Each structure stands twice: as C-alpha cells, then as structure tokens.
Structure 1
Amino acid sequence: MPSSAPPHRRGLVLAAAVLLATSACTVANSEAGDAGAGGDTLRIVLAQEPPTLEPCESSLTGTGMVVRSNITEPLIERDPATGALEPLLSTGWRQTSPTTWTFDIRSGVTFQDGQPFTAEDAAFTIDRAVNSDLMCNVDGYVFDDSPLGLHVDSPAKLTVTTEKPDPILPLRLSFVEMVPRTTDTGAKVREPVGTGPYAIADWQTGVSITLTRNDTYWGDAPAYPRVRYVWRSESSVRAAMIAKGEADMSTGLDPEDATPENSVAYPNNETTALRLDGTQAPLDDIRVRKAIGLAIDRQAVVDVLFDGNAEPAAQLIPDGVVGYNDALKPAPADLDGARQLVREAKDDGAPVDREITLVARNGQFPRVAETAEVLQYSLGQIGLNVKILMTDTAAHLVYQLRPFPRDVGPVALLIMHGNQAGDAGFTTSQYLLSDGPQSYFGTDALDDMITDADQLSGDARQQAFADIFAHQNAEVAQYAYLAHMQGLMGMSPSVHYEPNPATGDELRLAEIRPADGDAR
C-alpha cells in the first residue's frame, strides 16, 4: 500500500525503523525478598544503588528517590502537579522586606531519634547545606552558591535573609531536607536522621536498603510498615521482577519492556534537545542553527523511537513550569526550508562542510543511539556533515559543563534537561546565560532579560520568562528541541500510586498504598 507520508517523512520513519532491530535478552535471577505489596513490605527496584543518602544531596535523582519526604522532610513542599508551595515543617511564611523572609516552624515534631524539631534545627540544616564547605549539590544547583543569613527568633520562628532580593526563596528552601543540629558538619552522612514517615533500618551496600515506618511520625501513618529497595541496571530485568511478583514498583522502564499490565506512563520534567556550539563554524551562523531545528521531524521521532511516550518540544521546559510559553509550537520538519538556510550560509562563506560532532551519552534515555543516528541522517539530508560520538557519563560531562573542550571542532550535544524546581530561573541560569555552566554562548540582550526576570514574582515572572524562551528561539537559537519526555513507571496491579512530573526524581512513599481492587 502506498504511503501517504511526504518523502522526507517516509525516509526518516524508514531510517528509524531499520535502527530498531531488537535482540532477545535473558533475565537475571533475583530473589523475591520480603512479602509483596499485599503483605507488610513494599518492594521497589531502582535502576542503580543511591550514591549517598546524605540529605543535602537529595536533588540528585538517585538520592532523592529514597530520601526526599520519606526519611527527611523540607520546610515547604512543592506540589509537582500544580507547582503550588504547601506547608510541611513550616506552617507559614512571609516576606517582611525585599531581602528578609520569616518562617513559622511546626510544633510537636520530633526526629526519628526522639529529638524535638525546632527553628534551631532548621537554621542549622540550612547553614550546613548552603553556607558550609560540604559542597552540597543543593548549594550550587538551587542556591547558586549564594550565602544566607539565619536568625532563630524563637523555637517556632526563623528569619532568613538574602544578599539581594530573592522572590523565590521559599521554593529554593523546598529542596533543603531538615536534619537535627547534632548532625556532622565536617562530613556528609551515610544514614541520616530525619522527621519523615520512614527511618533507615538497614543498608547493605550493593544489596538493598530497608526502611521501617516511623511510629512517632507527626503526620498520617503511611500504608506499609516496611519498604525494601533493591537495584537492577537493566530495564528488562526490572520489568521481569514486576511480572514475576518479585517487585511491586520500579523506576523507569524502557518502552520495549513496558506493557499496560506492568507500567504506567506519566509526563516527567525532562526535555531532550541538541545544544549547538554557536562559537564554532558553521554553528556560529544562526541560519545553520535554525536549519538544524527545521530538519528534525519531532513527531516521527516521538512516534517511532519513543513509542509515543513524549510530546514534540519547542522550548527547554514543559508545561507546568513557571515561564512555560504556550504560544511556542513545535515546527513541522521543513527540509526545503532548512536546505535554503544552509545554502544561504554557504554562499556567505560559512564552511557548512566542516564536520560537526553529535555527542550523546549511552543510556541517556531509551533508544538514544538510534535517536542520534536518525538526527545524523536528518542533518545529512540538508547538507551538513555530522559524525556521532557515543560516550559514557564521565565523558559526556566534559562536553556538558564548563570549561568546554575547545580542540574538538563544532559540537551538537544531545542533552536531557529536567527542571525539578518548577521555575524557569533554574533553567535560564544554567542553559541560557552567556556564561551559564551549561550554556555555550548567549547575548547581552538575553542576559539582561534573564537578570530582570529573576527579580520578579507572580504573573510578571511568568510573562518575563515566557518572553525569554521566545527570544532565545528567534534571536539566539542555541537549541534544537526534540521532545518533552514521558516516564514509564513499573507498577504491579497490587499497588496504587499516581505518578506525577516529579516521580522521576522523588517517590513519596506515603502516597503509595495497596490497590485493594482499585484501578490504577
């Protein structure tokens, strides 16, 4: 039967289909461990062992999946679906001057070791995470290494001051997990004490982590008395554990391992894109950068390579993040328009034949190698010379973070950006500022727009950042977007849980319960 797709679309779909040849795989044996979700223990299989359970590193996905709001808790919790800030260990907060915030501390809360939680512990925790030499990830990622002033007004009141006005300080503090003031300040801890609904019972390195329900928890008791984490790197193994009743839940499954019976799809906060080095010819010509964006058939990539588990993207953040511009729509592929831009650049002296290295990371997302090859094919169709370099995580970081390698020629880096915090300021400071740690270049005009937007709040902040993303697409074009990704949460029919955009970074155990016949 003849295809109704245009020739360039048929070519891309065919190229993608050829790359998706699959091979059989064996499933490693795994112990069933404790009783399943119908019993006392909730069994979760992760993709990897957490690198640490140190609370000040909970913005790291591997750590946050176990720690955040489970073992420890923040003052304020962000609703992943709406972005609203909700009281937790702080019952209320207010800005009393441009650089001063006051937080009311919940009374009647104790740590898992019996110590009472007070404003003094909150001040200690923030000081340890943000103002110390521990090199906590939350310090650089969330607070941009900016120190905070802390004053304990009473056991139930804390004042926090900033060096300059910070309209989103409460959001930033939602990333700081509270610990008692007896916690080590000279080194990161392996097994933290917190106020959360679960406490660490046992961590057998390389084997499992077991949590037990905190019977003195100040809030509602979670459904499961025990939670046991194990880890298996292969998606097929994690899926098999769900199918065989050896696990109740699993972090992300690959599309080929997911079925309606063993998984639930959900929109996560990850966006895939090509970051283009505009300091190197021919990528220093905006016409070439825009041509790359026009060459990508995002819908075909989503349909064929991502099995429909994504949405074509037109900006670096997904809907639900402050600053998302709903007026920006993914452009359909336009090979003729892309070729014309490349020809114009060539006529003006741009060396469009110069080899561009497309750098991607193994395991970055399902079918990443096939995605890189389809992108290579698409860019070749418009007259660009592209080679692929697949790397491990360490090598990819060399290209991802400043200082960038300068002896490799022009680079198109395949990135996957997740905005955990729900505010565009965390994206623009990293990826769009001229000297951002994950930005190749920028412009003075864009830098000024970002600086001004960071001082705003409410509707004005939303509009300012939406304008920034429109300006970046029209006047800078550092990125050629692919898709807003979806996750596939492995889940047994025996449990009930509703994934949300934060599920890939944290898994709140108190929200999981036995299904008891409920539909997922």
Structure 2
Amino acid sequence: MKKLVASPLASAALAAGLALGLVAPALVTPALAAKDSLTLAMPLEPPHLDPTAGAAAAIDEVVYANIFEGLTRIDSSGAVKPALAESWTVSGDGLTYTFKLQSGVTFHDGSGFDSADVKFSFDRAMAEDSVNAQKGLFDSIAAVEVPDAGTVVVTLKQPAGNLLFNLGWGDAVIVAPETAAENKNNPVGTGPFVFGRWVKGDRVEMVRNENYWGEPAKLAKATIKIIPDPAAATAAMLAGDIDAYANFPAPEAMAQFEADPRFKVVIGSTEGETILAINNTRGPLSDIRVRRALAHAVDRQAVIDGAMFGYGTPIGTHFAPHHPAYVDLTGSYPYDPEKAKALLAEAGHGDGLTLSLKLPPPSYARRGGEIIAAQLAQVGVEAKISQVEWPGWLEQVFKGTDYDLTIVSHTEPMDIGIYGRDTYYFNYQDADFKALMTKLNTTVDETARYGLLGDAQKKLSADSVNVFLFQLAKHGVWNKDVVGLWENSPVQANDLTAVYWN
C-alpha cells in the first residue's frame, strides 16, 4: 500500500494562492507581478473528469496533459513524445515493448507512481467490465508485466504499428488504484496541474503542481469556463472576462476579432470529421440506396458556408485531409437532388420519408442541422429535429443508438477503426472492412499502412455509411499576450502546460 500525504496538495495550493493574493499589492513590485493565471473557455461541459471512463471530447479538453498523463503523449504537431515513460525499446519481432519509467513521479495526493500503477491502468482498461470508451486501443495487448518498479513490459498478440500513438490518447492515461474510483469528480493524476474545484455549469479550476516531476507549469492557476452560447462567448471575450477561447463557437465573429489589436486569431485544423451520422440498421436506412440518396441531397459547401461561415474543408470519407494517407472522395456523391429523389423512389420511398434528427449543442450541429433539414425536405425527406443536451446525446444516441440521424464531429485522432467495431452507434457491420482493420493493426510499414488506410476510406464511401460533411476548423481567439496555446488540435486537448503571458 502506498503512503498518502495527510492533506491534499490542491487545498494547500489554493490556500497559498489566496494568501498571496491578499499580500501581493504590498510585497510585490510591478516588475515581479507578471500575470500567472489564465481563464480559457470551451463550449461543452464534460459529463465528468475521468478520461478513462467516458467518450465525451470535453473530458480530455480539460484534463489531458494538464491533470493526467500516459506513458506517451501527443504534442501540438501530432508527434509521439515520452511522458511517464522516459524511453522504450521494441523487440525485433515487434511483439515486446519495454518501457523505462520516469523517476521521482508522484500522484497529486502524494502517493508514489510506479510500474504497478501502469499495470493496474492497462488491466482495468482491458477488463471484461471495462467502461473505457476506447477499449479497442488495447486490443493488441496480450500481457502487461512489471519486472521492477521502474519497468513495464508490454507483450502484444501481433505487431501493432499504432501502439505508441494509442498509448498517448487520453483514454490511456495512468491512474492510481487508490483514487481511480473517484476520478470522475475528483481527478488525481501526475500532471503539472492539480485539480482545484469544479463549479458545475460554470468552470473547472486547476492550480500548479508544485511537486511536479518534470518541467513545472508557468501558470500558477488555470480556469476553464464553460460558455456554449456563441453570443455570450463573443461578449465575454470582448469584455476581457476570458483570456482565450481555443475553439471559438462563433465563426461569424472572426473578422471582428481580427480587426481588434487586443486579440490574436488563429484558424487551425482539427481531427474532427463532422458527419451526418446514420443508424445503418434503422428501418429504411438499412437500404444503401436511401443512404446514398441522403448523401446526394446534402450540399456540403452550403453547410460550411451557412453554419461555419466558410470555415471547414469538405470531406468524402472519415479521414482528415491534412493526413498524408488521405484520399479525396468528395466527388463520390455530388450534390444532386434529382439523383436523390430517384434513389428514394427506387427504394420505395417516392412518396416521402420521415426521419428523426437529434442535434447535440455545438453550433456546427445546431446550425448545420437546420440547413441539412431544409435540404432533405427538397427531396421529400422530413427530418424531425430534436435538440438534446450533451449527456442526453451520449445516452440516447451514442450508447442507446436510439436515433435515425445526428450530426457530430469525431475529434479522436486517426479513428477510422471505429467502423470496424462489433458495436458502435452507426451499427455498420461489414466483414471486409473489419478485415482491412485487422490487417492495418498488424502492419508496421508506413507505405503499406497508407495503402490500407486508402482502401478503408474508399470502402466507407462506397457503402455510404454516413454523410461525410467537413473537417472541423479550429477557431482560436486569445489575448495577444498569451503564448503557448495549440494552434491545431491533433488530439482532443487544451494543453496548458507551456502557456504563459508575454
């Protein structure tokens, strides 16, 4: 059993911060009083704060790299970097990965970190009763062994070219057995920030980890505000109530911020494939002709222009255009209402069709949904819109598959493999696609992997699994003096570990 400290670090740090705030005007000269706190806003509140037990991107957007760490981490360029693993070696046959762990690491409650925590975290994620939303990341692992406190040996069932990248996901962070059960509301990790408090419906507060094993955070405190409404986000930024909004929900306001010298505006890329998702086994949607009709009925560029004010790159499959393995399939289903009508008639729905369209809170979904519903109406498809909050979407759509159509942006990196899962909310079951994924997962050669990824993209397009809309742009707006925020989003993160005020 690991020894725990008597009092939580977070409470001490918050108390110290308060005390400093009371005496700072008298004791600190202006030259030393550089701002060391940041208020960053995001659109969606996470359902909880445990990245190993939920699918919501908002969880990682708060805790990834800030509070929790994995053996590896993904940096701002999308590259794999060491994290809790200082280094690693791979056997010649690609089946054994030996990780050397960082020394001197402690969890935020003061308990020590060692190889037993890694084994616990991986075994927990792979367990039959695992609630990890990305359990498939661990499918290739046969065994996790811990020959000593500073070494972890991972043995694979077959070579896995993506293992190091997969271990850098938020779903693969390392947690302690003593605190894992409470991480949803009181996250305890090893990162450079310690959880302070969560004022639900408003904000999450973090403070600098003064006992961090690596390079300490430059910020003493970080607050993440939840501001979903585009107008409210614009007003808060203009008023100076927030310092930054890393994925601004009002693209129509970009020109206003670009013209204001107080702000820096950065339009970056994300891993967010934004789709009109289809329940492939739901009534008429099990007919490929109906799904293809929907694809021909949607004008992607009109959705981008109307919902995103021109920001976004059209896609024809579930893959990011900035990736070197991307295949441009946007011409597979050109906007053609007459073709859509003909396909619907051929499928026996010439007199019309009524489908549900459940829209989660993001503006791309709510605004895009109205446009798409109007486009579908032109070909005889009535899309009955219902707006659902994020927890409801996760429960009804993602878990319960109780929907016909929905709009969502899949921001997980390199996530084309979700279409090969036995159970996933699209309900797409195809043996040939699964075979492609199996081969991809055991292929290490980059050129061969890119070829398989191309084949997978073409298969999804041919089967018209979903209506692939656009790659979500990242609208960054922040105070011109803030340095270190990510311009792009290779993973779901608001990484504050290198942020400071100039």
Establish whether TM, by shorter chain, passes 0.5.
Answer: yes
CA RMSD, 1 decimal:
3.4
Q: Give, in angstroms, the shift of residue 357 of structure 1.
A: 0.6
Query: Is the contact made by 1:293 and 1:480 (CA closer than 8 Å) also made in structure 2?
Result: yes
Instruction: Name the stretch that deviates more: 315-324 or 60-69.
Output: 315-324
Q: Secondary structure at the match of 1:387?
A: strand
Q: Of 39, 63, 66, which aligns to 2:62?
A: 66
Q: Give, in angstroms, the shift of residue 89 of structure 1.
A: 1.6
Q: Is residue 2:96 matched to residue 1:100?
A: yes
- Specify the alignment match of 1:464 in structure 2: 452
Q: Give, in angstroms, the shift of residue 189 of structure 1.
A: 5.7
Query: Is the contact made by 2:358 and 2:407 (CA closer than 8 Å) also made in structure 1?
Result: yes
Q: Which runs of 5+ in 1 are unaligned?
A: 1-33
Q: Of 237, 240, 247, which aligns to 1:245?
A: 240
Q: How does 1:10-21 map to 2 (within 5 A)?
A: none
Query: Is the contact made by 2:159 and 2:443 (CA closer than 8 Å) also made in structure 1?
Result: no
Q: Give, in angstroms, the shift of residue 114 of structure 1.
A: 4.7
- Specify the alignment match of 1:190 in structure 2: 185
CA distance in 2, matches of 1:195, 1:187: 15
Q: Give, in angstroms, the shift of residue 274 of structure 1.
A: 2.4
- Specify the alignment match of 1:158 in structure 2: 152
Alpha-carbon spacing, 1:239–1:448, altered in 2? closer, same or farther (3 Å): same
Q: Is residue 2:84 matched to residue 1:89?
A: yes
Alpha-carbon spacing, 1:191–1:421, altered in 2? closer, same or farther (3 Å): same
Q: Is residue 2:37 matched to residue 1:41?
A: yes
Q: Secondary structure at the match of 1:439?
A: coil
Q: Give, in angstroms, the shift of residue 307 of structure 1.
A: 0.1
CA distance in 2, matches of 1:284, 1:192: 42
Alpha-carbon spacing, 1:340–1:277, altered in 2? closer, same or farther (3 Å): same
- Specify the alignment match of 2:225 in structure 1: 230
CA distance in 2, matches of 1:446, 1:503: 25
Alpha-carbon spacing, 1:188–1:224, altered in 2? closer, same or farther (3 Å): closer
Q: Give, in angstroms, the shift of residue 463 of structure 1.
A: 1.4
Q: Of 160, 167, 189, which aligns to 1:173?
A: 167
Q: Secondary structure at the match of 1:137?
A: coil
Q: Which runs of 5+ in 2 are unaligned?
A: 1-20, 25-32
Query: Is the contact made by 1:243 and 1:492 (CA closer than 8 Å) also made in structure 2?
Result: no
Q: Is residue 2:215 matched to residue 1:220?
A: yes
Q: Of 413, 420, 423, which aligns to 1:421?
A: 413
- Letter aligned with residue 374 of structure 1: I
Q: Of 119, 123, 130, which aligns to 2:119?
A: 123
Q: Is residue 2:378 matched to residue 1:374?
A: no
CA distance in 1, matches of 2:288, 2:267: 37
- Letter aligned with residue 120 of structure 1: A
Q: Secondary structure at the match of 1:510?
A: coil
Q: Secondary structure at the match of 1:179?
A: coil
What is the CA deviation profile of residues 123-148 of structure 1, one whole-angstrom value per residue up to 9, with x for unaligned ones?
A: 23333444385x4435536446x876
Alpha-carbon spacing, 1:504–1:231, altered in 2? closer, same or farther (3 Å): farther
Q: Give, in angstroms, the shift of residue 220 of structure 1.
A: 2.6
Q: Secondary structure at the match of 1:158?
A: strand
Q: Give, in angstroms, the shift of residue 57 of structure 1.
A: 3.9
- Letter aligned with residue 397 of structure 2: Q
Tell me the TM-score normalised to structure 2 length: 0.79
- Letter aligned with residue 416 of structure 1: V
Instruction: Name the stretch that deviates more: 108-117 or 224-233.
Output: 108-117
CA distance in 2, matches of 1:275, 1:51: 22
Q: Give, in angstroms, the shift of residue 354 of structure 1.
A: 4.2
CA distance in 1, matches of 2:221, 2:493: 18
Q: How does 1:363-512 map to 2 (within 5 A)?
A: 363-366=361-364, 368-382=365-379, 384-393=380-389, 396-397=393-394, 400-401=397-398, 404-405=401-402, 411=404, 413-425=405-417, 427-430=418-421, 435-457=422-444, 458-474=446-462, 476-502=463-489, 505-512=492-499
Q: Is residue 2:143 matched to residue 1:149?
A: yes
What is the CA deviation profile of residues 4-38 of structure 1, one whole-angstrom value per residue up to 9, with x for unaligned ones?
A: xxxxxxxxxxxxxxxxxxxxxxxxxxxxxx99x95
What is the CA deviation profile of residues 135-186 of structure 1, one whole-angstrom value per residue up to 9, with x for unaligned ones?
A: 4435536446x876221122332112345554433222223223345x2355
The alignment covers a number of residue pairs equal to: 460
Q: Give, in angstroms, the shift of residue 442 of structure 1.
A: 3.7
Tell me the TM-score normalised to structure 1 length: 0.77
CA distance in 2, matches of 1:174, 1:113: 23
CA distance in 2, matches of 1:274, 1:388: 14
- Specify the alignment match of 2:8 in structure 1: none
Aligned-residue sequence identity (percent) comes to 24
What is the CA deviation profile of residues 75-118 of structure 1, one whole-angstrom value per residue up to 9, with x for unaligned ones?
A: 1012353x432112213334435643221212343444555433
Q: Give, in angstroms, the shift of residue 310 of structure 1.
A: 0.9
CA distance in 1, matches of 2:191, 2:180: 21
- Specify the alignment match of 2:9 in structure 1: none
Instruction: Name the stretch that deviates more: 236-245 or 88-97.
Output: 88-97
CA distance in 2, matches of 1:489, 1:79: 17
Q: Secondary structure at the match of 2:363?
A: coil
Alpha-carbon spacing, 1:402–1:191, altered in 2? closer, same or farther (3 Å): closer
What is the CA deviation profile of residues 282-340 of structure 1, one whole-angstrom value per residue up to 9, with x for unaligned ones?
A: 54443443233223221222123210111111112213458532465575423344445
CA distance in 2, matches of 1:423, 1:321: 12
CA distance in 2, matches of 1:399, 1:190: 23
